[in-house]
Each structure stands twice: as structure tokens, then as C-alpha cells.
């Protein structure tokens, strides 16, 4: 007996941008994903300069914002997963920004 197995295709980001209230991610397969920026409080709290400082990680499997200490995977965007950060962690991060 044989079973058919298929490998999951990895979806990769090429480029990102922001609207006033959304994160927009262009994918290498031609799709564009747009999600509310409110899903990611660190991005929402960040200023334009901090949001503009991003890089692709894992050959485009994720996006990293060093100034905001935020990482988002393309898979999570495609599955509709907002940030899983706890309120306690977010509060601590917000307090650390007050001194900057």
C-alpha cells in the first residue's frame, strides 16, 4: 500500500508596505495579503521610520522589524493569525519605549 504525500509549498514575501490602517505584503506567487495593523500592536505603536526599517527573514518566510522587536511569519498572515503576544509582554515593551 502506498500513500501519497505532498510537500507544502513555502510562500515567501517579496515586499511590504503600509496604508493608514493596514499591513500589505506582496508574495512571490503574485498574491497580496492585507491585514489590519491593529493585529500587531508593536507595528501599530511604531512610527513610520520604525515601520520602514524591516527585512525579510528565512528567505522571505517572515518579516523582522529590529526597531520594534517584531517578527511576523507569512504563514500566520495567510492563516489570519494576529499577534499572539501577551498583554503583560506588550505592556512591558510599551513601558520600555517611554524612555526613548
All domains of the chain in start order, with CATH: 13-97 (3.30.2020.40)
In three-state secondary structure terms, 63 is strand
C-alpha cell at 63: 518579516
Q: What is the pLDDT of residue 5?
A: 63
Beta bridge partner(s), residue 32: 26
Q: What is the pLDDT of residue 9?
A: 80
Q: What is the pLDDT of residue 7?
A: 65
Name all contacts of 90-93 with Cβ < 8 Å and 24+ positions apart.
90/41, 90/42, 93/42, 93/69
User: Which portions of the chain are predicted below pLDDT 70?
Assistant: 1-8, 100
Are 65 and 43 spatial neighbours (Cβ–Cβ below 8 Å)? yes
Query: How far lies 15's CA from each of 62, 78, 95, in Å?
Result: 11, 15, 30
Q: What is the pTM of this model?
A: 0.86
Amino acid at each position: 500500500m502506498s500513500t501519497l504525500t505532498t510537500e507544502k509549498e513555502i510562500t515567501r514575501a517579496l515586499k511590504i508596505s503600509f496604508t493608514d490602517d493596514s499591513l500589505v505584503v506582496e508574495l512571490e506567487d503574485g498574491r497580496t495579503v492585507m491585514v489590519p495593523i491593529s493585529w500587531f500592536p508593536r507595528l501599530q505603536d511604531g512610527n513610520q521610520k520604525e515601520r520602514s526599517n524591516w527585512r525579510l527573514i528565512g528567505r522571505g518566510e517572515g518579516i523582522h522589524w529590529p526597531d520594534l522587536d517584531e517578527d511576523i511569519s507569512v504563514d500566520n498572515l495567510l492563516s489570519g493569525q494576529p499577534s499572539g503576544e501577551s498583554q503583560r509582554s506588550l505592556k512591558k515593551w510599551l513601558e520600555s519605549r517611554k524612555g526613548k
